[in-house]
Amino acid sequence: MKNKKAAYALLIAGGVLILVLLCIVLFISPSPKKIVTQNSDNIHLSTTTTGITKTLAINNQKITLELADTEALREHGLSDRTSLATSSGMLFVFPNAGYWAFWMKDTHFPLDMIWLDKDFKVVTALANIYPESYPTSFKPKAPALYVVEVDAGFIQNNKIEVGQKLDIH
């Protein structure tokens, strides 16, 4: 009888220990950061970013670029957002230079897309790509290592041209 009670108590203690460890793993393990940025129009919420940003400096302004440097982050991109502040965008980083195609799936506002080589020189710049263009894919004219997506009008307002080197740090 004592052995059965001891075995039962040991079994319960083991189960409690397993539950505690499971809770620790679930609540302490890293998850994507939620970043909230606000502009004068509304609030943007992204749950698919690492929180790492780069800065694009051009014409006395600074554009904050969220970094998309994993397959999952690149695939999701700016999808499901309702708008994009004019002072923000996304920098897609690829493992190697290539003809990386983009489309407007689940994107709800027009974008400018800028493909860059390893030295941040513009190889292709496409302006005013609208959500209605989906499922059309857009590709660069030369291999690119990076792609910048910004609010439509950026290319025209900043006179971005092929061959121009962008200051991204």
Q: Tell me the pLDDT band of 12, cut-offs 50, 70 and 90.
A: confident
Structure tokens that stand for 76 in this block: 């999701």
Q: What is the pLDDT of residue 28?
A: 45
Quote the domain boundaries for residue 116: 33-168
Q: What is the pLDDT of residue 159?
A: 96
Same domain, 24 and 37: no
Q: Is 165 exposed, middle or buried (0-12, 13-18, 19+ CB in 10 A)?
A: exposed
120: left (phi over 0), alpha (psi -120 to 50) or beta: left
The total of structural domains in the chain comes to 2
Same domain, 49 and 67: yes
Same domain, 39 and 86: yes
Q: What is the pLDDT of residue 49?
A: 55
Dist CA 61 CA 42 (whole Å) = 21
Question: pTM surpassing 0.75?
Answer: no
Same domain, 73 and 143: yes
Per-residue pLDDT of 78-120, as tens digits, reads 998 999 999 999 999 999 999 999 999 999 999 999 999 999 9
Same domain, 46 and 116: yes
